Amino acid sequence: NPTTASRNEVKLNDDRVFDCYSTPVLSPNGDCYGRIWSFRDITQRKQTEARLRKQAEREQLLGEMNQRIRQTLNLEEVLNTTVEEVRQFLACDRAIIYRFNPDLTGTMVVESVSKEWKSILKEQIQDNCFHKTKAPYFRKGGIRVVEDIYNAGLHQCYVEMLEGFQVRANLMVPILQKDQLWGLLIAHHCRQPRKWSTSSVKLLRQLSVQLSVAIQQAALFEQLAAELRERSAAEAALRKSEATLIQQRTKLEAALYQLQQTQLQLIQTEKMSSLGQLVAGVAHEINNPVTFIHGNISHAEHYAHDLLQLVQLYNQHYPQPVEEISKFAKDIDFHFLVKDFPKLLKSMDMGADRIRQIVHSLKNFSRLDQAERKAVDIHEGIENTLMILQHRLKPAAANIKLVKNYGHLPPVECYAGQLNQVFMNILNNAIDALEEYDRELSADKPKRDRSTITISTEIVNYCSTESFSRDVAQNFQSVIIRIADNGPGIPEELRQRIFDHFFTTKPVGKGTGLGLAISYQIVVEKHGGNIQCLSEQGKGTEFVVEIPL
């Protein structure tokens, strides 16, 4: 429009820019008869503007990269974004990161390349001339700007390598870790030579510094993570070895327990068999002469009777004996002898009978013949045991009253010899306790109930007894043998340990601490039964042995 003013920018071939302003020149009557053009060279301003814009962009990019590096510990992601951004920002054909190995060979680790050009990712560079000479230079922070590989005075081998990568111009800045050369950040221009602007160089340099930070950060993180992994691995190993230790300890404990049991059993078997053999042997040896004596006593009685009768007859028919006879008769107190002799023989007979009974009990008690389970009369076992303990129960010794409340028991399948051993252990303990209690009390409290041991037996049905809490079939029966004393009782804290091996409160030489441990084993393990201790301090103790039928 010729009547309006206009303004525009004109760009010349030599890159100069002009601000071009034109206004119409009007005659006083309003006719336009010309235009005035004014041109102003604004190249510098335009360049400054562009530079500022570019700088702003660059700063924004750097800021973004910085942000990214702070936010991510994923180095790969950072490197990838960097080459992407570099290529976009510099509008170059390829951006890559080259990483050095310790021996200064290296690999292209990250790449961004435009479609028209080939990828050189993973490309390894062995060529000595590439880095050997350049490395110290790069290590000092030097950069390399090549505008055109053909007239940059490059080594021929280097030019060939770059040709292989289709490179025409390149820009390389070092990525440093402390003062070590980690790698290079490289921009390639492939389509033509390129005059790299200072701002491009500056940008690349700043990015390489940021990359250094990112790499260091990632390395630190990796180190931390590795330490953490190592530590948790160590912890896991520790936990594992702890677990194995505990396992081993449990195994050892079990083995030890097993060993103790076996040892006990050995002791028990050994003791029982040698004692049994001794007893059986002695009983057998005594048995013969005693039978002999016992058998002959009746003959002796007979003979004595006959002899006395003969003397009587002499007396009748020769009432006046010669002096010597009547003197002798007087000397030997013949009248007393006649009365006493049969009595004496009678008591000898009784004695021999008693010996026979004891021998019988001993044989029964040791029961060598019964190594296997057999149905026996429990009461007979108890009686035999009491017989052997006679000497400890009699008035002369402990003066212990014995109370028996035997129920009706069927024959009980058991290892009779071993069960007798149990009764023996419990009864011995009761006698020990009563004797000791008497000794203790006789000083200050001479009057107390007479020492008593009560033995009771009965049959119980499981369903009707609550005291034995075992889940067994309803109509299951057991024999219960209770052996109670009115001794001192056992304090609660000791009661928990009395079945332990070698637990004893008795002086050395008296107690072995094995009696109840062995009894427990015999009753619980051999017979599938139960043994319990009920006790009230000052009142007494009761052992309850249960043998399932």
Residues that bind Mg ion (CB under 5 A): 429, 515
Q: Closer to Mg ion at the Cβ: 429 or 457?
A: 429
77 within 8 A of 52, measured Cβ to Cβ:
no
Q: Closer to ligand ADP at the Cβ: 82 or 457?
A: 457
Instruction: Please state, in angstroms and as integers, the Cα–Cα distance from residue 343 to each residue in 304, 335, 347, 352, following that order.
Output: 11, 13, 6, 14
CB of 229 to ligand ADP, least distance (A): 56
Q: Closer to ligand ADP at the Cβ: 185 or 382?
A: 382
186 within 8 A of 170, measured Cβ to Cβ:
yes
Among 208, 515, 523, 546, binds ligand ADP (CB under 6 A): 515
Q: Closer to Mg ion at the Cβ: 183 or 487?
A: 487
Q: What is 191-245 written as a DSSP string?
A: SS-----HHHHHHHHHHHHHHHHHHHHHHHHHHHHHHHHHHHHHHHHHHHHHHHH
CB of 256 to ligand ADP, least distance (A): 19
Q: Closer to ligand ADP at the Cβ: 210 or 429?
A: 429
- Residues touching ligand ADP: how many (CB under 6 A)? 21
User: CA nearest 483: which of 524, 519, 436?
Assistant: 519
Q: Is 478 helix (H, G, I), strand (E, B) or coil?
A: strand
CB of 382 to ligand ADP, least distance (A): 16
175 within 8 A of 185, measured Cβ to Cβ:
yes
Q: C-alpha 265: how far from its chain's center? A: 30
Secondary structure in 3-state letters for 499-525: CCCCCCCCCECCECCCHHHHHHHHHHH
**Other CB atoms closer than 10 Å to residue 501's CB: what's the count?**
18
450 within 8 A of 347, measured Cβ to Cβ:
no
CB of 499 to ligand ADP, least distance (A): 7
x/- map, 468-507, ligand ADP, by CB under 6 A: -----------------x-xx-x-------x----xxxx-
- Scanning 91-197, the segments in alpha helix (DSSP H) are 128-131, 135-139, 156-164
CB of 515 to Mg ion, least distance (A): 3
Pick what 503 binds: ligand ADP, Mg ion, none; C-beta below 5 to 8 Å, kind-dependent. ligand ADP
CB of 363 to ligand ADP, least distance (A): 25
Q: Name the residue number minimizing CB distance to Mg ion.
A: 515
Contact window for ligand ADP (CB under 6 A) among 247-255, 291-299, 509-517, 522-530: 509-517
Pick what 490 binds: ligand ADP, Mg ion, none; C-beta below 5 to 8 Å, kind-dependent. ligand ADP
Pick what 513 binds: ligand ADP, Mg ion, none; C-beta below 5 to 8 Å, kind-dependent. ligand ADP
CB of 504 to ligand ADP, least distance (A): 3
Pick what 433 binds: ligand ADP, Mg ion, none; C-beta below 5 to 8 Å, kind-dependent. ligand ADP
Q: Closer to ligand ADP at the Cβ: 366 or 425?
A: 425
Q: Closer to Mg ion at the Cβ: 100 or 499?
A: 499
Q: What span, in angstroms and rounded, lies between the C-alpha atoms of 272 and 267?
A: 8
Beta bridge partners of 110: 97
Among 24, 193, 351, 513, binds ligand ADP (CB under 6 A): 513
Pick what 294 binds: Mg ion, ligand ADP, none; C-beta below 5 to 8 Å, kind-dependent. none
Q: What span, in angstroms and rounded, lies between the C-alpha atoms of 335 and 329?
A: 8
Q: How many CA atoms lie within 13 A of 221 on its CB side?
A: 13
Q: Which two tokens stand for residue 206?
A: 């700043």
CB of 407 to ligand ADP, least distance (A): 22
Q: Closer to Mg ion at the Cβ: 104 or 534?
A: 534
- Residues numbered 194-223 forming contacts with ligand ADP, rule: CB under 6 A: none
Among 187, 516, 531, 547, binds ligand ADP (CB under 6 A): 516
206 within 8 A of 116, measured Cβ to Cβ:
no
User: CA nearest 86: which of 259, 229, 168, 205?
Assistant: 205
CB of 448 to Mg ion, least distance (A): 23
Q: Is 541 in the site for ligand ADP (CB under 6 A)?
A: yes
Amino acid at 195: K
User: CA nearest 197: which of 112, 90, 49, 62?
Assistant: 90
User: CA nearest 489: which of 407, 416, 402, 430?
Assistant: 430
Q: Closer to ligand ADP at the Cβ: 14 or 449?
A: 449
Q: Name the residue number minimizing CB distance to ligand ADP.
A: 515
Instruction: Please state, in angstroms and as integers, the Cα–Cα distance from residue 293 to each residue in 308, 324, 348, 352, following that order.
Output: 21, 35, 9, 7
Rounded (10°) CA dihedral 209, 211, 213, 219: -150
Q: Closer to ligand ADP at the Cβ: 31 or 536?
A: 536
Pick what 95 binds: Mg ion, ligand ADP, none; C-beta below 5 to 8 Å, kind-dependent. none
x/- map, 413-452, ligand ADP, by CB under 6 A: ------------x---xx--x-------------------
CB of 513 to ligand ADP, least distance (A): 4
Q: Closer to Mg ion at the Cβ: 381 or 515?
A: 515
Q: Closer to ligand ADP at the Cβ: 487 or 529?
A: 487
User: Who contacts 106 (Cβ-Cβ below 8 Å, separation ≥6)?
Assistant: 98, 99, 100, 124, 125, 131, 183
Q: Closer to ligand ADP at the Cβ: 81 or 504?
A: 504
Contact footprint for ligand ADP (CB under 6 A): 425, 429-430, 433, 485, 487-488, 490, 498, 503-506, 511-517, 541
